[in-house]
Structure 1
Amino acid sequence: MRIYRTPSSIMLAGKAWEIRAKLKVYAKEFETVQQWIQAGDYENTKIIPFPTTKQSPF
Structure 2
Amino acid sequence: MKIYLHERGIICTGKAWQVRRLLKQYTANYTYVKEWIEDGKSQQIKVQSLKNHPFEKKT
TM-score strictly above 0.5: yes
Structure 1, gaps ≥5 residues long? none
Whether contact under 8 Å (1:3, 1:48) holds in the other structure is no
Distance 1:22 1:8, change over 3 A: same
TM-score if structure 1 supplies the norm length? 0.65
Q: What is the RMSD of the two structures over their aligned residues, measured on CA atoms?
A: 2.4
- Deviations 1:1-36 (CA, angstroms, capped at 9, x unpaired): 100112222100001100000001110011111111
Q: Percent identity?
A: 29
> Counterparts of 1:5-20 in structure 2 under 5 Å?
5-20=5-20
Structure 2, gaps ≥5 residues long? 54-59
Runs of 4+ deviating beyond 3 Å: 47-54
